Structure 1
Amino acid sequence: MRSVKRFFRVRAALAGALVGLLALTGCSLLGDSGGSPVSGTGTAAPHSSANPDQDIPYDVTPLLKPAKKYYGVAVPGAPTAMKSVDAYTGSTGKQPNLVEYYAGWGDGFDATGVRNAWAEGALTLMSWEPFDTPLTDIAAGRSDPYVKEYAAAVRRLNLPVVIDFADEFNGHWEKWGTDHVTPAQYVAAWRHIHRTFVDAGATNVIWAWSPNIVNPVRNVKLEPYYPGDAYVDWVGLIGYFTTGSDNAFDSVFGPTRDRIRTFTEKPFLLLETAAMPGERRRADIRNLFAGVAADDDMLGFVWFNHKKRADWRLEASPLALKEFKRLAADDRFGFDVRKPS
């Protein structure tokens, strides 16, 4: 959704300029958001204490398909600051365990944010968007100093993170979308980034491949854009309940799910979703919870609680918020990611 994310592009452009300046001065952008370098203070293995001397990457396996559903949110300022997450918890009655944020190519790794979310039992999901860097350059290694340093920072922190690179690639509205990038170029960039992280030992990453739902772009084939099961952990669908269309869960997400099931069995996450304000919003929220709960391959959802093209914030619709809170109380949704089993 081009207009939904326009807010984040100014930040990405500024970050890109800053990267160049820091490269000239020998400074690093890839430590904590406060500017200090990342120390090895992450958890070395599930449920263990922090141990900077332990050289074992965090095992993300228990988080790949847990018994309960992820209950996620994207809210302004998080996870660098968790105030808005805490407010969302208060209004919906449940602590989110997946916090999504958006980073432009060139932004530094937000180690502080990852730690903040982890301290509240939540996993961090970063949507990494290459606004001003061609994917062909990434695949050719021209961004390798940046990618390698980023991967090293992720590895040093040694907490699990989810990375979603160049989402909505099957849409013409993105700079890395169908009007600008071929499937082969997209796959080459994805695989190159993934290999760079693996070479750095950063196996504490969960990789989410995230197409937009096919409803507005039915003629775009998804399989040619798929990097392969060796490079993907989750399929992160992006789709919204909008006005003027059939908003049954299977109508919104079913066509995309069915296409993807022809070439991979990786589990799904609704990586970005919300419902348009209006009379149908309560019904849409019921469809969302029921659809996710009914599908064993659906890991959960992330609610996009921003005011952008529409006011997707739950607090904008008191009756819908009340319904959301009632459904969120279902024990199947939410769990402490530090204790996934």
Structure 2
Amino acid sequence: MVRLTVPRVAMALIGAALLTYAFALAPATLPGNRGATTSDRLVRAEPNAVVTAEAVAATEPSPSPPPAPPLFPPVGKAFIGVMTQKGPYDFAAVNAFAKAAKRQPQVMLFSAGWASDRFDRKLFDQISGRGMLPMLGWEPWDYGVDAAARKKGLPRRQIDKIRSDQADYRLSRIAYGDFDNYLRSWAEGIRSLGYPVAIRLAHEMNGSWYPWCEMSNGNSPGDYVKAWRHVHDLFRAVGVSNVIWVWSPNAKWSDHTPKLATLYPGDDYVDWVGISGYYGMGAFSKYRSFDEIFNETIAEIRAFSKKPLVITETGAAESDGRKAEWISETFRMLPAHQDIIGLIWFEVNKEQDWRIESSPAAATAFAQAVADPRYDLTWSPDLPPRLKVDD
């Protein structure tokens, strides 16, 4: 019988420790075992080695990166926007629209003309402060020419001809850099905002009623793309990274409209593709559904770009008493267009009374439509824009 003396107990304990090392830890260092980690090496450190706090911290797993912020608008959602006569200079019409719609719009479109409007931070801050993404309709022309023609009560076609003939704002002058100082002042101002701003530059370029249309004002084929890219490149050179570039033609109204692909600056120069279209005027005077007005244009766009779509201007007239019907039908059709991420209503009494307030029936139809959870979302300055349909 072995007597358990102190030396023998000590030797037994040492032997047990060595066996534990041999079977539990040493295999990590055997040939063929390549899975040893930094923490293994620290455990096997020499008895007299000093393990520092920094070394222990290095063995801890790196913290997971924070989740990406939600996009605006989220997948499966679409925003509601508004454009009014006075824009951010007077929010009374916006308040009336929100009250009638029983929904706060998440985007506000307003216009600025190059002849007279200068960058004013207050306008953008007032819009964003109300929880709406500012969308600037940036128009290279003197809109005073248009206002003067309308004041004379001239026919619409004559007004279009007068206002589109402004040689100072030919596309070639923009592309050649004649407006660079003006453009730079806006670029620096928008960069200073620090939150996203959408710019709908020179919209409805496939028409003939603005001086930036290739079919008017002495412009030539290819000039529109050159002008657009020049403006975009100048903003990039100034270091502007908070602009959502919105390219926005008019919905096709005849078989003689220009091919949109020839006017498209390219996906590297565009973030959202917008379309303007109204029921109750011109080629769409007689009743035509949303799909009948927009689908042909959407199909043409989808042949060259997969960018998210926005209905940048729309409205309906009361001329034949079917405005409420058109509104309800439009919002029933919209969910089938998952690539349409927003719709901006033209809340103005202009050629027609396009406002949803034009009748109780129209206001009720609009309010019921936008009560759908699909339009239940908010915008805030820290939300990055959704730049892909399936983001």
Q: 2:124 aligns with which of 114, 139, 143?
A: 114
Q: Provide closer, same or farther for how the CA distance between residues 286 and 167 of structure 1 changes in structure 2, counting only shifts above 3 A.
A: same
Letter in 1 for 2:331: F
C-alpha deviation, 1:60, in angstroms: 10
C-alpha deviation, 1:300, in angstroms: 1.5
Q: Which residue of 1 aligns with 2:183?
A: 147
C-alpha deviation, 1:340, in angstroms: 5.1
C-alpha deviation, 1:230, in angstroms: 0.3
Partner-residue secondary structure (3-state), 1:173: coil
Query: 2:243, 2:69 → 1: CA distance?
Result: 7
Q: How do 1:1-341 and structure 2 match up within 5 A?
A: 62-63=71-72, 66-106=75-115, 107-132=117-142, 133-177=169-213, 178-180=215-217, 181-216=219-254, 218-242=256-280, 244-277=285-318, 278-338=320-380
Q: Which structure is higher in helix share?
A: 2
Letter in 2 for 1:203: S
Q: How far does the alpha carbon of each residue in 1:215-236 deviate from its partner, in whole angstroms, 9 at most, with x for none?
A: 2464411101000000000111
**Gaps in structure 1 of 5+ consecutive residues:** 1-58
Structure 1 runs of 4+ with >6 Å offset: none
**Gaps in structure 2 of 5+ consecutive residues:** 1-67, 143-168, 385-391
Q: Provide closer, same or farther for how the CA distance between residues 232 and 117 of structure 1 changes in structure 2, counting only shifts above 3 A.
A: same
C-alpha deviation, 1:66, in angstroms: 4.9
**Contact 2:80–2:106 under 8 Å retained in 1:** yes
Q: Provide closer, same or farther for how the CA distance between residues 109 and 63 of structure 1 changes in structure 2, counting only shifts above 3 A.
A: farther
C-alpha deviation, 1:129, in angstroms: 1.1
Q: How far does the alpha carbon of each residue in 1:267-317 deviate from its partner, in whole angstroms, 9 at most, with x for none?
A: 110000001114111121012212322211001111001111111111112
Q: How far does the alpha carbon of each residue in 1:105-158 deviate from its partner, in whole angstroms, 9 at most, with x for none?
A: 141223212111212211011111112522111110111111111100000111
C-alpha deviation, 1:83, in angstroms: 2.9
Letter in 2 for 1:172: S
Tell me the percent identity.
Answer: 36
RMSD over aligned Cα atoms? 2.1
Q: Which has the larger radius of gyration?
A: 2
Query: 1:321, 1:146 → 2: CA distance?
Result: 41
TM-score (norm 2): 0.68
C-alpha deviation, 1:245, in angstroms: 3.4
**Contact 1:281–1:320 under 8 Å retained in 2:** yes
Letter in 1 for 2:298: R
Partner-residue secondary structure (3-state), 2:239: coil
Query: 2:122, 2:331 → 1: CA distance?
Result: 31
Query: 2:255, 2:326 → 1: CA distance?
Result: 22
TM-score (norm 1): 0.78
Partner-residue secondary structure (3-state), 1:79: helix
Letter in 2 for 1:162: A
Letter in 1 for 2:268: A
Query: 1:209, 1:290 → 2: CA distance?
Result: 26
**Contact 2:206–2:257 under 8 Å retained in 1:** no
Letter in 2 for 1:179: S
Question: What count of residue pairs does the alignment treat as equivalent?
Answer: 283
